[in-house]
A and B are shown apart, each in its own frame.
Chain A
Amino acid sequence: AQSVTQLDSHVSVSEGTPVLLRCNYSSSYSPSLFWYVQHPNKGLQLLLKYTSAATLVKGINGFEAEFKKSETSFHLTKPSAHMSDAAEYFCVVSAQAGGFKTIFGAGTRLFVKA
């Protein structure tokens, strides 16, 4: 069985300060993990993905995430928030068990204050 939990439904930061969006997962198999971003009235865009290579994954727009198996976490970070980062972020777990099963988290909405 698989599940994914995004620990915060909303996160608010000031421009120029660090961003931390938290994600915990569970999976009976070796999972792949993803972060997607959705800007208002747009589809989802892939930010980054982990597929059992390096545990620190770099993505687009300065975001990165670290896979921590012992903590079953895949938190998304960025050193310095920009106004354009305001969006909704989805953590996703996927594993192949007789066919891919992909589970989306409920989403975290990021607000960036000037």
Chain B
Amino acid sequence: DVKVTQSSRYLVKRTGEKVFLECVQDMDHENMFWYRQDPGLGLRLIYFSYDVKMKEKGDIPEGYSVSREKKERFSLILESASTNQTSMYLCASSLVNQETQYFGPGTRLLVL
């Protein structure tokens, strides 16, 4: 079974702090994704990566950056957290040219 893990289930940060969310997958998937999930809006893609050191902006990249130094690890960075970034963050992975995505359990981030 594919396993996608996220470094924290719950996180509380202050406005202006730098925040790192980490995601690790154990199935050698090429593609990795970061989404945020807000009530009534479904999942919105922040960034995705199709290879090490490669990244593409999703639909809502503003205020976020990402890093992929190793194939199994994809990090989401909030350079200066703001209250409107309070949300559930979901990481996912998939094989190249395969559409089925496998999700981690999510990180619920609260920015005060």
- Give residues in A with beta carbon < 8 Å to B: 9, 32, 34, 36, 41-46, 49, 51, 90, 94, 96, 100, 102, 104-107
Nearest-neighbor residue (CB-CB) of A106 within chain B: B42
Instruction: List residues of chain A with CB within 8 A of the CB of B104.
Output: 43
Task: Report the nearest A residue to B94, measured CB to CB.
Answer: A100
Given contacts A42-B106, A43-B105, A106-B41, contact A32 B99 (CB under 8 A): yes
Closest 4 CB pairs of A and B: A43-B103, A104-B43, A104-B42, A44-B103
B99–A42 CB distance below 8 A: no
Please report the C-alpha to C-alpha distance between residue A102 and residue B101 in the assembled complex, in whole angstroms: 10
User: What are 15 sample pairs from A and B whose C-beta atoms fall under 8 A apart?
Assistant: A9-B40, A32-B99, A41-B105, A42-B105, A42-B106, A43-B90, A44-B101, A46-B100, A46-B101, A49-B99, A90-B43, A96-B97, A100-B97, A100-B99, A104-B42
Contact A45 B42 (CB under 8 A): no
Chain B nearest Cβ from A18, distance in angstroms = 25
| Given A42-B106, A90-B42, A90-B43, also A102-B99 (CB < 8 A) | yes
The number of chain B residues touching the other chain, given as a range, is 20 to 34
Instruction: From B9, B35, B42, B104, name the one whose CB has the most chain A CB atoms within 10 angstroms.
Output: B42
- The secondary-structure label for the interface of chain A is strand
Judging by beta carbons under 8 Å apart, are A43 and B42 in contact?
no
Nearest B residue (CB) for A51: B99
A104 to B40, CA, bound (A): 11
A104, B102: Cα distance in complex, Å: 14
Apart from A43-B90, A94-B99, A102-B101, what are 8 other A-B pairs with CB-CB below 8 Å? A34-B100, A44-B92, A44-B101, A46-B100, A49-B100, A90-B43, A96-B99, A102-B45
CB neighbours (8 Å) of A102 from chain B are 45, 99, 101
Q: How far is the CB of B99 from chain A (nearest CB, A)?
A: 4
Chain A residue at minimum C-beta to C-beta distance from B59? A103
CA distance in complex: A12, B99 (Å): 30
